[in-house]
A and B are shown apart, each in its own frame.
Chain A
Amino acid sequence: MGEVDEEPVIRAAGLRKQFGDLMAVDGIEFEVRPGEAFGFLGPNGAGKTSTMRMIGCVSTPSGGELGIFGLDPRRNGRSIRARMGVVPQLDQLDQELTVLDNLIIYARYFDIGRAESRRRAAELLSFVQLEEKAGSKVDPLSGGQKRRVSIARSLISDPELLILDEPTTGLDPQARHVLWDRLYQLKEQGRTLVLTTHYMDEAEQLCDRLVVMDGGRIVAEGSPAGLIATHATREVLELRFGHGRNAERLAEVAPYGDRVEALPDRLLVYADDGEAVLTALREAEINPESALVRRSSLEDVFLRLTGRTLVD
């Protein structure tokens, strides 16, 4: 942890955001260090987007402290945003313009000169592998391509900090992998990434550290592996006894695992050795319709912490 001495890129304490009676973000505390990939994991409505909007200086905190680059977003919004790139949840591209013009115009917003804008736009289109689409309008592009244009656009100002709100939501698996690869490269370049997601695999692949959010609060914090080690066992045995019959088998199965969780469609048995548990169950003539051993994931952590699954 050599980077602990460094000034954090983002520091929040007691941060709150209230909309009328709704407390969207309810006193959260976290720090994002330079060069790290930091994630907010949680279901819809957990307060992730509200937090991102406050970090993006487009939403004013209702209370608490928030510092970005050591600056106060209430007073220094402009200078903070000048050093930050934002990939919004829904693409906000200029549909009537070409891909290239989208990038160049966005560069103008940052007061980047015309020649420099062109140079950077060309470079970034190559980075997101869309050189051949430079002259195409945005509208006919696929969802994954549009998202890549959004990422290229967010990088036009060469930001130190990149914030991404659900970067791969709505994309097909292939497009997600292309995107993850690009984001991984950005991380390797030393940029600080902050992202929200409700996908476990995304958080595990990309994030050095993450916080789990639920109902506007942070319920856990750590590295993906650390969170799994703390809040779940190494493996999970998934048992299916048929629809509606899972809960009634809970008591029978419970003694065999460290912990058993009943979901409508299956039982989750937490154990360090899933196969061993399965063998023991079979010996005791407990025979589920199907059984699957897998490694624990952040999904299990979330279930443990909140009693709910992430994607309903």
Chain B
Amino acid sequence: MSTPPALRIAYREVVLYRTIWRENVIGAFVQPFLYLLGVGIGVGSLIEGRSQADEILGGASYFAFYATALLATTAMFNAGQEALWSTMEGFKWSNVYKAMMAAPLEPRDLATAFVFRFGGRTLVTAVGVATVLALFEETRSWGLIGGVGAAVLCGLAFALPISAWTASRETTNGFPAVMRFVFMPMFLFGGAFYPVSQLPRPLEIVAWFTPLWHAIELSRGLVLGGVDPWRLLAHVAVLALFAGGGWLLCVRVFARELRT
């Protein structure tokens, strides 16, 4: 029985991950914890009890509202950053992906290996965030398991398109722009801190087209409940579209970069 080529590549990621998993796991706990203390509890105490706020948040506490978004935002930041730097490393700095292509592997296998790689990495951080959320009564729910799945899908929806873009770059010059114009606006306006219905209408419409908004709505809906299943399924579909489209882009760009 031969091992599927993508898994042979993923094995390398496992070996690499063994050297850095500690920092990764600690980060997965500490970061959301800090956000929860800073924003969830701090801003929450300012808002809670105001009748208008309760209504806008759909009955959830601000803490729970914000905490559930962390599953998605942490996935976006971790997988997105990883997709920038390590993709650049593999394609342009160490050329390890070129070396792989001398073995019986194809660019398509590498693209599929990226699914395992980013899926796996996001899974670890998402379990970290979910564990933190499980510590608090307001967010303790079986829905967290689904929330972890939503986070993984969110990670892929970002990491795969970004990897394809990074593989086509020669330098990291564009990376700060991705931070400023992709991650930060989505983080601030994607419904993590308040429902996007609070935004001016045009901005709200823009938010509907961002993967982060769908991931936040999905993980929030799964953990806190009370959302129409069809709506959740629609969010899954949109995220899958981003991830699937990203995979296709990876296949194309990787082939262009690694085969001439």
Across the interface, B12 reaches (CB within 8 A) one of A92, A93, A95, A108, namely A108
Chain B 80-114, CB-CB to A under 8 Å as 1, else 0, gives 00000000000000111011111111100000000
The reply on B9 being an interface residue by CB < 8 A is yes
Q: Does B231 interact with chain A (Cβ within 8 Å)?
A: no
B96 touches A94 (CB 8 A): yes
A101 at the B interface (CB under 8 A): yes
List, in ascending order, chain B residues with CB within 8 A of A110's CB.
103-104
A81–B101 Cα distance when bound, in Å, is 9
Q: Which of B1-60 contact A (CB under 8 A)?
A: 2-3, 5, 8-9, 11-12, 15-16, 19
Output the least CB separation between B21 and chain A (Å).
14
Say if the beta carbon of B260 comes within 8 Å of chain A: yes
A88 with B98: CB separation less than 8 A: yes
CB neighbours of B106 from chain A (8 A): 77-78
Residues of A within 8 A of B104 (CB): 78-79, 81-82, 109-111
Q: Does B258 contact A (CB under 8 A)?
A: yes
How many angstroms between the C-alpha atoms of A88 and B96 in the bound complex? 11
- A88 near B16 (CB under 8 angstroms)? no
- For B93, the closest partner residue in chain A by CB is A95
Is A60 interfacial (CB 8 A cutoff)?
yes
Q: Quick check: is B259 within 8 A (CB to CB) of the other chain?
A: yes
Give A54's nearest chain B residue, CB to CB: B260
Residue of A nearest to B97 (CB): A92
Contact across chains for B260 and A94 when beta carbons are under 8 A apart? no
> A12-49 vs B: 1/0 string, CB under 8 Å?
00000001000000000000000000000000000000
Whether A58 pairs with B103 at a CB distance below 8 angstroms is no
The answer to the question of A59 belonging to the interface, with a C-beta cut-off of 8 Å to chain B, is yes
**Contact call B102/A81, Cβ cutoff below 8 A:** yes
Q: A108-B8, A108-B12 are in contact. Are A93 and B99 (CB under 8 A)?
A: yes
Min CB distance, B23 to chain A, in Å?
14
Q: Is the CB of A59 within 8 A of B259?
A: yes
Interface residues of B in 184-214 (CB under 8 A from A): none
Residues from chain A with a CB closer than 8 A to the CB of B2 are 111
Count B-side interface residues using an 8 Å CB cutoff: 25
- In the assembled complex, the Cα of A109 lies from the Cα of B97 at a distance in Å of 11
Q: How far is the CB of B150 from chain A (nearest CB, A)?
A: 31
B2, B11, B260: residue with the most chain A Cβ atoms closer than 10 Å: B260
Mark contacts of A234-266 with chain B using CB atoms, 8 A cut-off: 1 yes-contact digit, 0 otherwise: 000000000000000000000000000000000
Residues of chain A within 8 A (CB-CB) of B259 are 58-60
CB contact under 8 A between A88 and B11, given known A58-B258, A59-B260, A97-B16: no
Distance in Å: Cβ of A63 to nearest Cβ of chain B: 15
Contact residues in A for B105 (Cβ distance below 8 Å): 78, 81, 109
Nearest CB of A to B93, in Å: 8
Contact A58 B94 (CB under 8 A): no
Q: Which residues of B contact A93 (CB under 8 A)?
A: 94, 96, 99
* Chain A contacts for B5, CB-based, 8 A: 109
For A150, give the chain B residue with the smallest CB separation.
B99
Contact assessment for B98 and A92 in the assembled complex, using a CB-CB cutoff below 8 Å: yes
Residues on A with C-beta less than 8 A from B16 are: 94, 96-97
Contact of B94 among A95, A101, A104, A105 (CB under 8 A): A95
Q: Which residue of B lies closest to A139 (CB)?
A: B94
What 0/1 readout, one digit per residue, does chain A (79-104) give for beta carbons within 8 Å of chain B? 10110101010101111110001001
Are the CB atoms of B95 and A90 closer together than 8 Å? yes
Q: B253: shortest Cβ distance to chain A, in Å?
A: 16
Minimum CB–CB distance for B7 against chain A, Å: 9
Q: Which chain A residues lie closer than 8 Å to B8 at the CB level?
A: 108-109, 111
Contacts of B11 in A (CB 8 A): 105, 108
Interface membership of A302, Cβ < 8 A: no
* Residues in chain A near residue B3, CB distance under 8 A: 108, 111
Contacts A109-B104, A109-B105, A111-B3: A53 and B260 contacting too (C-beta < 8 A)?
Answer: yes
Pick the 4 closest A-B CB pairs, nearest first: A92-B99, A109-B103, A86-B102, A92-B95
- 27 A-B Cβ contacts within 8 A? A58-B259, A60-B259, A78-B106, A79-B104, A81-B102, A82-B104, A84-B102, A92-B99, A93-B96, A94-B16, A96-B16, A97-B15, A104-B15, A105-B15, A106-B103, A108-B8, A108-B11, A109-B5, A109-B9, A109-B100, A109-B105, A110-B103, A110-B104, A111-B3, A111-B8, A154-B102, A157-B103
